Structure formats: C-alpha cells, structure tokens
Structure 1
Amino acid sequence: MEVHDRTSSVLKDHFDRNRTNLSRSELVVAEHLVSMPIDVLIFRSAEEIAAETGTSDATVIRAARRLGFSGLPELKRICSRVMAQTLPTSERLEHRFRATGENLTNVAKQMFEAAREVVTATEEQFDENEVSHAVSILEQADTVWCLGIGTSEAEAIHCSVALSRVGLRTRCSGASGFTLANELLDLRRDDVVVMFHALRDADELKLVVRQISEIGCKVILICGVQLKATYEGMVSALITCTSTPSKLASWSLGALVMADILSYGVAVRNQKQAIDSKARLAKLRAAISTR
C-alpha cells in the first residue's frame, strides 16, 4: 500500500453505492471515514469518530450500517484487509505504536475498547441455529475432542474444561504434525471434535478436517470469519468469531465466549447431568483441600 493511497478503495466503493441512503449527519460521518487513512481508521472508536465529526456514537454506527456493513467493527475489518496483505507485520506494529502512544493509561483505554469491539463483532456474527445445532452434536458425543490449531491451544483447553464441568467426557490437544496424528489414532466414530483456528487457512487444518470427517466424526469449527466460505459444508457446524484490525485485542476473546455459550447450552439442556458433575467436582476439591 503506497503512502499516497492510504485510504480504503473498498470504503469508497461502498460510499459511492450508498451515499443517497445517508442522512445529513450520516453523510458527514461517511465522508470523514472515506477520507481517513486505513492505518488511522482501524484505531478509531465510534466515540472518537463522533467527537471528530460533531455527531453521536449512534450516528457513527448507523452510518456504517447504511454503507453496507454490519457495524463499525466490520467496516474497519474489511477495509483493513489490503493493509494486512501488503504491509509486513513489523511495519504494522510500527503503525500500532504511533497510534497508541506510550501512555499506559491511554493504551489500556484503547485495549479495553478493542476488547469490547471483539465481543460486539462476534455477537453480530452470532448464528443461533448454528450454535443450537452444535450443542445438539455435543450432547450426542461419546468423547469431545477440543483441538487448538496453531496458536489456539488456550481456547481448546478452556472449552475442554468447560464441557467436562457440565458432564461431558473430553480430551484436549494443541499438538501438531506427527504428535497430533498419533493422538488422533484414538478417535472413534461417535466422538465429536471441536476445532479452534483463528485467521488464515492452513494445510494442516484442511488435512485434519478431512481426515476426521473420513473417520465419521462430527466436526465443530470455531474460526475467523475469513475461513467461513472455505469450510462451510466441510464441517458439521461452523461458528465464526472476529478479531480487530488494530490487533489491540485478541480473537481469543470471542472464541472463549463461544466456548462458554456451547458449554452452558449443554448444561441447560441436561441440567441434572450438569448439577451432578458440579457436585462431584466440589466433592473432589474438598477431598484435595483436606490433604
């Protein structure tokens, strides 16, 4: 991305197509967004944009939707893709340093805002039918395998623990390569695999999904929105989470919330099982603490 062309052509296209749908105040916001360099836009909150345009948070959000996006998070995420594809990670980090500054109070404020953005954007992607289907799949599992591909082991561990506490038998792995292949030898037809993978596609992910499906296991994939088109139809259930283009908050936040929704969904449909499991856990903890 050249320095002289730092604004988003995608956003300009959306603006040209939808400008007649905008109110006067929304037009002010939209023109401000179109003129803003991408490396500045991705760090702006609705509150900051409202202050810069003399409007309100609600007007900023409405303007983003009138431009054809689900909200401001999606607008920033889609407009930033060209930057992510063309700039090296080191240069993107330099942009981040310039945008946040060095004052830790200000940095913390921006990171909390980014964390809220992750959760909000993930909620916008929430598909009730797909999640309900995933819960039904989990209820029928003999063993639930939680696999973290790449850097997603923490999410897999969290999901495995949460599901075990509501009465499901689980296994967890963050292994890759030959080690993962050895572990998957224990997979059986009635098992269910919950896989976590954040953003970019990987040959290993394709291979694992294909091999698990050939065994006859059902696969629930929790992934970034970029992977939806690739894996829809290849897995039994697909749940998307989002990240922020600023990278000030992790994709993991949305994935952890989705894991909690799945485990609680199993619990409310199988309340006696969940209560009995909690009681056994409390008994085990009490026995350990008295030693």
Structure 2
Amino acid sequence: MPVPAQPPHPGTLRAHLLAAAPGATASTARVLRVLLDDPAAAHLTVTDLAGRAGTSEATVVRTARSLGFAGYPQLRLALAAAGGAEPEEPVALLTGDLAEGGDLAAVVATLAALEREAVSATAGALDVAVLAAAADAVAAARVVDCYGVGVSALVARHADLGAARLGLLSRLRTEPHAALVSSALLRPGDVALAVSSSGRTREVLTAARQARERGATVLAITGSSTGPLARTADHVLVAAGRETAHRAGATAGRASALFLTDCLHVAVAQRLGGEAVTALRETYRAAGGRRGRTDGTR
C-alpha cells in the first residue's frame, strides 16, 4: 500500500481500513480484519493484535505506518477516537457468513449492510484530486476505451454508457482481442478506462499496458491500490469491498466500482458544461424520454 501523506481523520479511518484491505498482503489483511471487526481493537496492545491476527508485531507496525501513522500507538489513538472502529451493524452481520437455509430476511439485511459499508468506505477514502484529474482527462479525450471482463465488464459497460450519454466517443471492449486491437490504435490524449477488481486481470492489464505504450492516459477502477493495474495507470480510483465466504472480491466491490463511475460521470459533466446538458437531453429523448416517445405510452 502506498503511504498516505498524512494519517486519515478518525471519522474516515474505517473507510481507509476497508479500502486498504483488497491490496494488502495476507498478513496485513488479517491485521486489518481485526481492526475492522473487533470493537475492542483500540484497547489491544501491539502484541495482542499480532496474536489475534496470527502475525508478527513488525507486521502490525508496518500496517500502521502504511496507513500514514507514525506507529501503532498513534493508530490506537485514532481507533479510540473513532469509537474503536465499531461498525454500525453487528459484527456477525457484516462478516457475511450466511448459514445454509438461513432466514431470507437476514440474507437481505446482510447484503444491504455490506453494500452500504462498501460504498461508504469508497467515498470516505476517495481522493477528490485524483477524481478531478481523471475527469479532466476524460472530458478532453478524443476517444475513451472501456475495458473489463467478467463482473468488471458490467462496470466497464456502465462507464461506457455514461461517457456516451455525455456526447463523448466511447468504445466498450469486453472481449480480450477487441481490447487489444482498440488499445493498439490509441494515441496521446486518448483515455483507456480499465476495470479490474483484483488489479491483476491479465486481459485488462495487457490492454491497459498497450494503451500506456501508445501514449494514452490510463484510468484504473480497481479494488487494489498496489496491484499491477494501479502501477500501470496514471489515475487510480479504488473501490472498497469486503470479500466474504459467499462473495468473491469482484462481486464485493461491484457496488463501489459503479459508484466511482457515477462520480466520474458527474465530474466530467461539470467540465463539459452546456455541452453535456445538451447531450444528456438529446440522449434522454432518443432513449425514450417522455417527449421523445412515439408508442403512445407515458
């Protein structure tokens, strides 16, 4: 994890813990999980925390420093100020461990809690300066390529539709060979928007690297701030999400990634101004807006 310029405010500490988890090593991820799930985490000594996480004291210290703190004592103070990192919902609910044949209402509540947590964490950890720079690049682009496979293809499609509705030339490329062909023709000033929850999806990563080689600006929406895709990209938007026994990482971060594309969409629209307003109005009519319908329905 890249070290922040300064430690997070206690009010956004939980968001930063969640955002850091997807790109963390296995040992660091265990430390973060204890910090997230144990209401008494602020009272744990470095030895206690290391024991509960099944790792070394050195890993605990490194984790604290990777979050921007001078050391673990400073992280403990922030945890205490944040209320011990205690989640709003019961810990058992947020773990997402659903029993076979369990109550369906509990399943719905669990999924809703996980989605709220993921989006809230993503918003709390979002670097608005990075979002602004990404929006500047998209708004000025000759063409925007959107890459993604599997669950990430849904996010890429959402980004493509948003760009197209703003009047931008956007190309959705969710088939690996099509992404490679498209990225090979990009040039400086173009944008490649690459979506990968793991940050390691080979097809997406290959297309993003080729786009970078062609001089295009690479924008990544990913669950890993330290993965190969993040290292390839010029601008990185991190989607937080808690992976559980029944939700793989890509699924866990899907709502967060969609939220980030919406943030990007609005930021680009702000930069395009009246041009965006006109495009949105015309595409709304074309897609069946009230004044543009011809089938007699309302």
**TM-score w.r.t. length of structure 1:** 0.65
1:276 maps to 278
Q: Give the structure 2 partner of residue 165 of structure 1.
A: 165
2-structure distance, mates of 1:210, 1:24: 44
Q: Is the 8 A contact 2:198 2:227 kept in 1?
A: no
In the alignment of these two chains, the number of paired residues is: 229
The Cα of 1:116 is off from its aligned counterpart by 0.7
Residue 62 in structure 1 maps to residue 83 in structure 2: yes
Is the 8 Å Cα contact of residues 200 and 229 (structure 2) preserved in structure 1? no
The aligned amino acid for 2:192 is V
Within-5 A mapping of 1:102-251: 102-176=102-176, 178-199=177-198, 201-225=200-224, 227-228=225-226, 230-246=228-244, 247-248=246-247, 250-251=252-253
CA deviation string 1:165-193 (max 9, x = no partner): 222221112112x3432344443433211
Deviations 1:45-104 (CA, angstroms, capped at 9, x unpaired): xxxxxxxxxxxxx9795213xxxxxx869xx9xxx9xxxxxxxxxxxxxx9343x75210
Q: CA RMSD in A?
A: 3.9
CA distance in 2 between counterparts of 1:13 and 1:144 reads 39
Normalized per residue, the structure richer in helix is: 1
8 A Cα contact 2:200 2:227, kept in partner: no
Match of 1:91 in 2: none
Amino acid of the structure 1 residue aligned with 2:265: S
Instruction: State the one-letter code of the partner of 1:277.
Output: A
Query: Which residue of the partner structure matches residue 97 of structure 2?
Result: 96
Q: Residue 46 of structure 1 aligns with which residue? A: none
Question: Measured at CA, do residues 198 and 283 of structure 1 come closer, stay the same or move farther in structure 2, by a change above 3 Å?
Answer: same
**CA separation of 1:185/1:213 partners in 2, compared to 1, >3 Å: closer, same or farther?**
closer
Alignment of 1:41-60 (within 5 A): none
Mean CA deviation greater in 185-194 or 126-135: 185-194
> Aligned partners of 1:184 and 1:11: how far apart in 2?
34
In structure 1, distance between residues paired with 2:136 and 2:203: 27
Relative to structure 1, the CA distance from residue 270 to residue 222 in structure 2 (aligned partners, 3 Å threshold; closer, same or farther) is same
Separation in 2, partners of 1:228, 1:36: 22
**Which runs of no fewer than 5 residues in structure 1 stay unpaired?**
1-7, 38-57, 65-70, 81-94
Identity over aligned residues, as a percent?
A: 20
Code of the residue aligned with 2:254 in structure 1: it is S
When Rg is computed on C-alpha atoms for both structures, the one with the higher figure is 1
Amino acid at match of 1:213: R
Structure 2 Cα separation of the partners of residues 200 and 282 of structure 1? 34
Structure 2 stretches lacking a partner, 5+ long: 1-25, 55-78
Distance 1:232 1:72, change over 3 A: farther
Contact 1:149 1:195 in 2 (8 A): no
Distance in 1, Cα, partners of 2:108 & 2:144: 37
Distance in 2, Cα, partners of 1:115 & 1:122? 11
Q: Amino acid of the residue matched to residue 63 of structure 1?
A: G
The SS at the match of 2:107 is helix
Please say if residues 166 and 277 of structure 1, whose CA atoms lie closer than 8 Å, have aligned partners that are also in contact. yes
Tell me which residue corresponds to 1:52.
none
Structure 2 residue aligned with 1:27: 43
1:10–1:229 Cα change, 3 Å? closer
- Classify the secondary structure of the residue corresponding to 1:112: helix
SS in 1 for 2:208: helix
State the match for 1:259 in structure 2.
261
CA 1:206 to 1:27, structure 2 compared with 1: closer, same or farther past 3 Å? same
Query: Cα distance 1:13–1:201, how it changes in 2: closer, same or farther (>3 A)?
Result: closer
Q: CA deviation at 1:241?
A: 0.6
C-alpha separation in 1, matches of 2:255 and 2:283: 26
